Structure 1
Amino acid sequence: MRTALTELTGVTYPIVQTGMGWVAGPRLVTATARAGALGILASATMTADGLRAAVREVKSRTDAPFGVNLRADAADARERVRIVVDEGVRVASFALAPSRDLIAELKDAGVVVIPSVGARRHAEKVAAWGADAVLVQGSEGGGHTGGVATSVLLPQVVDAVGIPVVAAGGFHDGRGLVAALAYGAAGIAMGTRFLLTSDSPVPGPVKAAYLAATVDDVTVTRAVDGLPHRMLRTDFVVSLERAGRVRALAAAVRRAARFRGLSGLSWPRMVRDGLALKRGKDLAWSQVLLAANTPVLLRAAMVEGRTDLGVMASGQVAGLIDDLPSCEELVRRVMSEAQQVLGSLPEPGGRAVT
């Protein structure tokens, strides 16, 4: 199945594995790339040196194209862009809209630029700045999310920009791929579905918590960092929502200190990163600190397996997933289902398309 996404990135199938912090490392990205989809390394939870090492590890395991997700607001964003360029990475994606200069620098080096957006106006902005494609996530998606459903946001963006659009938020199978293509998308991106594979490095107890979740167990909360954040509702998340301002601030300071030790970041750098997220938003200082060290809460679950002390970002689609295929099995299944759906669609005269 060839689409504008496969032509642009060089992958075999129009499927993207999103850059999930602590999850989308060399192991998952390599497995995704080998399966013919576009794997995206999550660099926000890596040091710059760690990012370079991760890129080289993937390159040593596969010749297939892959990408790196970058934080445009990070203090060392330009250094990380240079790593992507120097190492010959095919795709750069961004969690926040990159500047016009960063887009130009990447494009001049032949890197495909695919920012992630959650609103039509953001898609129009990065398209005007030269982005090659855009990934649009509806409210069903995991992590930081907006309030507009994919089925409403996706056609809005497709109609507004003249570049390929990748659909994210609520996708997990071949039916979703066909639906996205029908809306005009060039492919789909999946996070939770790739997290729940045998190639994902997430500890078994955490995967079990996801598999046990129903659609109603996936919630949106502002208690973690002041921004809408979709995740599994756990006792720990409930405790964060019930914590007072003083307790929240004390906990934020403790976790910030821990993240500083893990990441090697300085206090001024952490504050700058937190302020970048605070800009334009009415956040308390406790929330600013939490915004700077939210990776610690994710790491507790995704790396250490502490479902009782960490947060588990999740799309609503977790309530529909009940198995742990390999990335190869998953991609093959999605493509097979898509072909079956396409073959069963009725023609205007009532016959199935063959």
Structure 2
Amino acid sequence: MTAAPIATRFTELVGVDYPIVQTGMGWVSGPSLTSATSNAGGLGILASATMTYPELEAAIAKTKSLTSKPFGVNLRADATDAPERIDLLIREKVKVASFALAPKPDLIAKLKDHGIVVIPSIGAAKHAVKVASWGADAVIVQGGEGGGHTGPVATTLLLPSVLDALGPDGIPVVAAGGFFDGRGLVAALSYGAEGVAMGTRFLLTSDSAVPDAVKAQYLERGLGDTVVSTKVDGMPHRVLRTELVDKLESGNGATALAAAAKNANRFKRMTGMKWSTMLKDGRTMRKSGERTWQQVIMAGNTPMLLRAGLVEGNTEAGILASGQVVGMINDLPSCDELIQQIMTQARDRLDQLGKF
């Protein structure tokens, strides 16, 4: 039996049955996972930051061959070829463009003019207000429980602060960080959010291409087995605690920079990027004021360390991004099974709450 849809402004905005988003995770959110999520009634999002332009072009085509439902693509607004990637989304009529760093108003306007829904991820109320004023259609708000790059404020405090800042007539808010079941969805809706976004929970599905041996390592972990490290790429990054992470945490700055430079060179060779392009991207990051030059150099660590762990399954040489929610997950359902479980539980909780 298929769970009844729950309609919110977000589901109406993006054209899905359920207010559930699978986030764009580098090396993880490919056509298979994205299409499986969308086919299950949620919104799947392709992660393009670790793809070359031709790879993204092929990934969009593959996803479209696997689903007729709406899906999105996560983009780096500060990438040198961001305008070309945006043109690709327009040509391919992709439904949603999501961003970790919000694009400037002109790019938002261009996407919206062509019918593409723009959804930046933000980590502070003031950023939500800013992107709303720029024309963003909705925002994803990730609390500190979330995996990958994250902030210090828990979802239970960050979410209401954003909702209060945007006001009752503000753009739709999707909550992320710590969500994995129907109880969390109902809690987010009760705060005033209009959906939830999940990364780690979708990584741990049978539709995820992450090696089974790596998934098994995730399933063994508890609530205290993640750490927020700044030694991976200079920014707060929540990952599973491993021997490599412990070594990075105890290492000195010079060693970390040397490793980052080596990994940046490996990423350059793998993607075919030119040093001039990488330097342009670095200057763009610096101009945004978000990173120091040391952090820009260390950013070269992230793609290769994640690839080693999540693609090659080499957890001794790679890192495993993870939300704290990993300690609450013990199975590997399909995306369809997962979403149905969440919606059924959400309906049960709403029925129970109706008795009070």
TM above 0.5, one fold? yes
- 1:141-192 Cα shifts (integer Å, max 9, x gaps): 1111111111111111112221000000000000000000000001000000
> Residues 206 and 318 (structure 1 numbering): CA distance in 2 closer, same or farther, change over 3 Å?
same
Shift of 1:282: 6.5
Q: Is this contact kept in 2: 1:258–1:296, CA < 8 A?
A: yes
Shift of 1:283: 3.9
3-state SS of the aligned residue for 1:136?
A: strand
Cα distance in 2 between the residues matched to 1:251 and 1:225: 10
Which deviates more from structure 2 when the two are superposed, residues 89-98 or residues 274-283?
Answer: 274-283
Q: For residue 311 of structure 1, what is the amino acid of its counterpart?
A: I
- 1:219-256 Cα shifts (integer Å, max 9, x gaps): 10100111110110111011112222332222122211
User: Which blocks of at least 5 consecutive residues in structure 1 are unaligned?
Assistant: none
Correspondences of 1:10-159 after superposition (within 5 Å): 10-159=15-164
Q: Is this contact kept in 1: 2:260–2:299, CA < 8 A?
A: no
- 1:71-123 Cα shifts (integer Å, max 9, x gaps): 01111111111111110000000011111011000000000011100000110
Q: Is this contact kept in 2: 1:270–1:292, CA < 8 A?
A: no
For 1:199, the equivalent position in structure 2 comes to 207
Correspondences of 1:1-354 after superposition (within 5 Å): 1-161=6-166, 162-278=170-286, 280=289, 283=292, 285=294, 287-346=295-354, 351-352=355-356
Cα distance in 2 between the residues matched to 1:310 and 1:277: 24
TM-score, with structure 2 as normaliser = 0.95
Q: Is this contact kept in 1: 2:309–2:317, CA < 8 A?
A: yes
Q: For residue 206 of structure 1, what is the amino acid of its counterpart?
A: V
Any runs of at least 4 consecutive aligned residues in structure 1 with deviations exceeding 6 A, and if so which?
none
User: Which blocks of at least 5 consecutive residues in structure 2 are unaligned?
Assistant: 1-5
Q: Is this contact kept in 1: 2:149–2:237, CA < 8 A?
A: yes
Cα distance in 2 between the residues matched to 1:273 and 1:298: 20
TM-score, with structure 1 as normaliser = 0.95
Aligned residues: 347
Cα distance in 2 between the residues matched to 1:282 and 1:122: 17
Q: For residue 29 of structure 1, what is the amino acid of its counterpart?
A: T
- 1:194-232 Cα shifts (integer Å, max 9, x gaps): 000000000112111111111111110100111110110
- 1:300-350 Cα shifts (integer Å, max 9, x gaps): 01110011111111111001101000000000000000001001115xxxx
- Give the CA RMSD over aligned residues: 1.3
Q: Is this contact kept in 2: 1:100–1:129, CA < 8 A?
A: yes
Cα distance in 2 between the residues matched to 1:182 and 1:90: 27
Same amino acid, percent of matched pairs: 61
